[in-house]
């Protein structure tokens, strides 16, 4: 076995905070007063901002009631179910979680408007500033912003946030969260789980930015709606390579003859400065093009075999929230050091900094849309496709937990917002609409709509099964028996496979372990892993396989089939063996 992090004797962090065998090395060193304090939006950066992460007051009341007093301290942005929040308490349906903290505006900070940003709050929240309503938001995976200029006062100001979570009883996405975790379903969370921050902007400011690389035309297309006349500059390693202005529609085309293409081996990023009056923002982009070419995936016109890992983005101490920026970087760099060039971000949308690190480190991303809907019928989502191979039609909504129109409408709305959120991320090369039938519906129509929203990326419409012949991929999962795949003209992809268990403790949850095959020793485990790749995956590549995704990067609660333990302390797989196999698969 191989140490992925420093093995240590666990100890209490501070009085009342506790210790746990599931702490990561980053959790042990957590700055409780200002965790995750890096600028949260790397592709639209401003100088003037304030991070509101850290200690807040909290209370839990029956839904419909407000707290008379607060119960103690919670560390934001970790949900109360996590170790790092300081609580490790479940919020149940019918309960409401309340947050409160104060802030003051530093001298010289305030411009014309003050914006309050939330990276993500799960699932429904209402926000008050000085006892006045600032706004509300539904959905647990996407950022939102309130203009609170007219609600603030000199001196101290109070923020109060009330949160409820319907789990899988509502219309919103919930990913793999469950009120009753076990097996492939994990601890549910409620509340703030991404950075909260303030930003001061001029009255006329840049709100959104869309960057589309045109590799064939050797140019970058820039669009900032409502920002006609804005000045911009494109920089390469600090050197200006083009300067121009946006037209009256807020659009521009910047020629880049002899540009440096972005690849996993050379993830070159161009910087972009935009100035609109007194508003100045910094961004970045990459020159890359992804396409389907004769049943293969092409990057910048050249075929590229993708070998990846399933990445659920769970942490033993922070669950949905990584304990630090360095922890996110560690996961990406570890996968890259093992020879993988792809991470499949599984039914979760990460903070924007995670994608920034993939962009700059050269890690490609398959991005799932978080699933939702009513409880799934296991007969249709799992048993029938696995044991009979039948691909069911997704127009019978009740089979897949999509009986209610409200849930279907919400999925489409979330899909559109997620595309807008991640449109500029060069690392994201593929959207995954549905996984194993979870909440699946109308996949052919949605694939067409997704293509309209974003023609620059590939689409996996149905990962696993219930394929309706749409999208760019014939996408299959294989955990039992031999891997036997046949193409149909689309890209042949093995989007989940493996799942081998080597349970060595190290921070895994003490419940029933889950995986496809179990091994007692690291030697047996690594030998089986090597056979799986050499005898099945490499063989399938000769028959047209263009992409493979092993399950998975790390253990997650009951799922003990990760290459690393849940606390990222131990790497189970032989790194030299994996690197050799991955390099071999990427050849030719």
Residue 563 contacts residue 555 (beta carbons within 8 Å):
no
Is the pLDDT score of 22 beyond 90?
no
The model's pTM:
0.95
447 touches 470 (CB < 8 A): yes
Distance of CA 340 to the CA centre of its chain: 18
The gap between the terminal CA atoms of the chain, to the nearest Å, is: 31
The strand pair at 491-498 and 545-551 is best described as: parallel
pLDDT tens track for 206-245: 999 999 999 999 999 999 999 999 999 999 999 999 999 9
Among 202, 227, 209, residue whose Cα is nearest residue 147: 202
- pLDDT, tens digit (0-9, with 9 covering 90-100), for 322-347: 999 999 999 999 999 999 999 999 99
Domain 291-586, CATH: 3.20.20.80
Supply the DSSP string of 435-468, one letter for each residue: ETTTT---HHHHHHHHHHH-TTSEEEEEEBS---
Can you give the residue ranges of every domain in the chain? 31-197, 210-288, 291-586
pLDDT per residue over 471-526, tens digit each? 999 999 998 777 888 889 999 999 999 999 997 854 444 446 677 789 989 999 99
Q: How many CA atoms lie within 13 A of 559 on its CB side?
A: 25
What mean pLDDT is predicted for residues 50-58? 98
Residue 412 has pLDDT above 70, yes or no: yes
The pLDDT tens digits of the residues spanning 201-217 come to: 999 999 999 999 999 99
| CATH class belonging to 210-288 | mainly beta
Q: Are domains 31-197 and 291-586 of this chain identical in fold? A: no
* HEC profile of 527-584: HHHHHHHHHHHHHHHHCCEEEEEEECCECECCECCCCECCCCCEECCCHHHHHHHHHH
Question: What pLDDT does residue 512 have?
Answer: 62
Half-sphere exposure of 314 (CA within 13 A, CB side): 33
Q: What is the mean pLDDT of the chain?
A: 93
Provide the token pair at 323: 């304990």
CA dist., res. 244 & res. 228, Å (int): 12
CATH code of the region 31-197: 2.60.120.260
Cα 259 vs. chain centroid, distance in angstroms?
A: 29
Q: Which residues contact 508 (CB under 8 A, 6 or more apart)?
A: 316, 555, 557, 560, 565, 566
Whole-angstrom distance, CA of residue 33 vs CA of residue 300? 44
């Amino acid at each position: 076995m191989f140490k992925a992090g420093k093995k240590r004797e666990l100890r209490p962090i501070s009085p009342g905070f506790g210790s746990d065998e599931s702490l990561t090395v980053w959790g042990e060193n957590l700055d409780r007063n200002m965790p995750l304090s890096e600028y949260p939006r790397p592709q639209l950066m401003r100088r003037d901002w304030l991070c509101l992460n850290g200690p807040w007051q909290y209370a839990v009341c029956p839904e419909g009631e407000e707290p008379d007093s607060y119960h103690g301290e919670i560390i934001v942005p970790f949900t109360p179910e996590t170790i790092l929040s300081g609580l490790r308490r479940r919020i149940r349906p019918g309960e409401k979680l309340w947050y409160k903290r104060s802030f003051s505006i530093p001298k010289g900070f305030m411009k014309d408007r003050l914006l309050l940003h939330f990276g993500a709050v799960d699932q429904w929240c209402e926000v008050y500033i000085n006892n006045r309503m600032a706004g509300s938001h539904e959905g647990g995976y996407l950022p939102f912003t309130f203009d609170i200029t007219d609600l603030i006062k000199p001196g101290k100001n109070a923020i109060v946030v009330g949160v409820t979570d319907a789990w899988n009883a509502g219309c919103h996405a919930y990913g793999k969260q469950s009120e009753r975790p076990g097996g492939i379903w994990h601890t549910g969370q409620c509340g703030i789980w991404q950075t909260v921050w303030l930003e001061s902007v001029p009255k006329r400011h840049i709100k959104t930015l869309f960057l589309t690389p045109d590799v064939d035309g050797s140019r970058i297309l820039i669009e900032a709606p409502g920002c006609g006349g804005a000045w911009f500059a494109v920089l390469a390693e600090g050197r200006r390579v083009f300067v121009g202005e946006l037209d009256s529609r807020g659009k521009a085309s910047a020629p880049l003859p002899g540009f440096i293409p972005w690849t996993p081996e050379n993830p070159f990023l161009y910087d972009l400065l935009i100035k609109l009056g007194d508003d100045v923002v910094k961004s970045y982009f990459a020159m890359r093009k992804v396409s389907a070419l004769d049943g293969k995936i092409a990057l910048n016109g050249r075929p590229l075999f993708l070998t990846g890992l399933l990445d659920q983005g769970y942490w033993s101490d922070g669950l949905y929230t990584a304990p630090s920026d360095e922890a996110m970087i560690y996961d990406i760099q570890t996968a890259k050091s093992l020879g993988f060039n792809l991470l499949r971000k599984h039914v979760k949308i990460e903070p924007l900094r995670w994608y920034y690190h993939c962009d700059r480190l050269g890690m490609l991303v398959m991005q799932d849309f978080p699933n939702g809907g009513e409880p799934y019928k296991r007969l249709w989502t799992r048993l029938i496709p696995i044991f009979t191979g039948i691909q069911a039609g997704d127009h019978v909504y009740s089979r897949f937990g999509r009986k209610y129109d409200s849930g279907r409408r919400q999925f489409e709305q979330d899909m559109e917002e997620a595309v807008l959120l991640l449109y500029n991320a060069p690392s994201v090369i593929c959207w995954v609409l549905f996984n194993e039938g979870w909440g699946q519906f109308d996949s052919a129509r949605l694939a067409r709509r997704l293509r309209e929203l974003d023609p620059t990326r590939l689409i996996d419409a149905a990962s696993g099964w219930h394929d309706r012949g749409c999208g760019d991929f014939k996408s299959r999962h294989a955990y039992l028996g031999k891997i036997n795949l046949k193409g149909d003209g689309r890209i042949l992809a093995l989007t989940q496979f493996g799942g081998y268990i080597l349970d060595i403790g190290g921070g895994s949850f003490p419940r029933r372990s889950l995986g496809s095959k179990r091994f007692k020793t690291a030697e047996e485990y690594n030998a089986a892993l090597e056979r799986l790749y050499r005898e099945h995956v490499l063989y399938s590549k000769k028959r047209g396989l263009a992409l493979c995704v092993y399950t998975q990067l790390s253990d997650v609660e009951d799922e003990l089939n990760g290459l690393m333990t849940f606390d990222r302390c131990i790497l189970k797989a032989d790194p030299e063996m994996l690197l050799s196999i991955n390099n071999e698969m990427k050849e030719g």
